[in-house]
Amino acid sequence: MSHQPVIDGLEFAQAASKLQGAWPVTEFARLRDALRTEEGTLRYELQGMPETHGRPALRLIVDGVLPLVCQRCLGALEYPLHIEALLLLAATQAEVDAEPLEAEGPESIVAGREMAVQALVEDEVLLAIPIAPRHAACARAAASAPGATARPFAGLRGLMDGWKH
Ligand SMILES: [Zn+2]
């Protein structure tokens, strides 16, 4: 039987509960398209926080290595993932929508009585992986003269640099 915890968000936060576990990457249906192989495991820790920024919250940590594909040379790219997210709990979607969007800082999510932890983890992972992952020192880039090759993802460079840890 696969690990499929479901939490009551508010109760979990107020009780400062803790949960941890791991899944093979193949168990994340929405992630599979981006993966080159079926190897890898993602570990997570979820911690309830009774009050953070005046609100109940969940702190989520995810670690693992994802087998992605370098979009420049199409070779294997072992992408190390480390996520630390703070998810403030809101009572309703309207409450979430009313908040200003901030690039940095905690996100808000609607607190449910039956929140699937795997879906929470997958949401954060999908936000964290680059749209066009590339080797930091790609063999193909080193082999070709600057400007000699079309670089369809060059425009994403600034965006991707912002995502590096
Ligand atoms: Zn590459």
10-residue block means of pLDDT along the chain (165 residues)?
Answer: 87 98 94 90 97 94 96 93 95 89 82 96 94 89 54 53 49
* CA-wise closest residue to 132 among 28, 32, 33, 34: 34
The confidence score (pLDDT) of residue 164 equals 47
Residue indicated by tokens 């979990």: 12
Query: Cα of 132 to ligand 1 centre, how many Å?
Result: 11
Query: Cα of 120 to ligand 1 centre, how many Å?
Result: 30
- Asked if residue 56 lies in contact with residue 14, where contact means CB atoms within 8 angstroms, the answer is yes
Task: Give the separation between CA 47 and CA 59, rounded to whole angstroms.
Answer: 5
Q: Which residues have CB atoms below 5 A from the ion given as ligand 1?
A: 70, 72-73, 75, 135, 138
The confidence score (pLDDT) of residue 165 equals 46
Judged by DSSP in three states, 96 sits in: helix
* CA-wise closest residue to 8 among 110, 82, 106, 83: 110
The confidence score (pLDDT) of residue 33 equals 86
Question: What's the N-to-C CA distance of the chain in angstroms?
Answer: 35
- Asked if residue 162 lies in contact with residue 127, where contact means CB atoms within 8 angstroms, the answer is no
pTM: 0.79
Query: Cα of 23 to ligand 1 centre, how many Å?
Result: 27
The confidence score (pLDDT) of residue 148 equals 45
Query: Cα of 150 to ligand 1 centre, how many Å?
Result: 14
